[in-house]
A = this chain, B = another copy of it.
């Protein structure tokens, strides 16, 4: 049976905890929030790939892509393994991809609203 830590002031601790969670969540979001990194995730949703192919797909310099990849790894969304000279990256947090459907929904809604506005003018 687990022993609960005694809290001298539960409310303050909970509040502080809330802040930390927001910061961590924002960190992950920030890690995803770049066109090249979104492209990488989209490319990897169908299977693992090496840096050179990812760079081709993302139409960006390898050194730059390498940095973007390390950002995604350190936030826990991707993982990698070595295979000879190559480093193969793959999706670790697959649920991330569901989110893109949601975001695409937002974008479609926005586009619809703009279309309506356009017709009304």
Q: Which residues of A contact B (CB under 8 A)?
A: 18-19, 21-26, 28-30, 32-39, 42, 59, 75-77, 93, 95-96, 98-100, 102-107, 109-110
Q: Tell me the number of copies of this protein.
A: 2
Majority-rule SS of A interface residues: helix
A119 CB, min distance to chain B CBs, angstroms: 15
Q: Which of B75, B102, B104 contacts A98 (CB 8 A)?
A: B102
Q: How far is the CB of A65 from chain B (nearest CB, A)?
A: 14
**Which residue of B has the minimal Cβ distance to A28?**
B103
**Could you list some 10 contacts between A and B, CB below 8 A?**
A25-B104, A26-B32, A28-B103, A30-B30, A33-B33, A76-B110, A93-B105, A95-B102, A98-B102, A99-B102
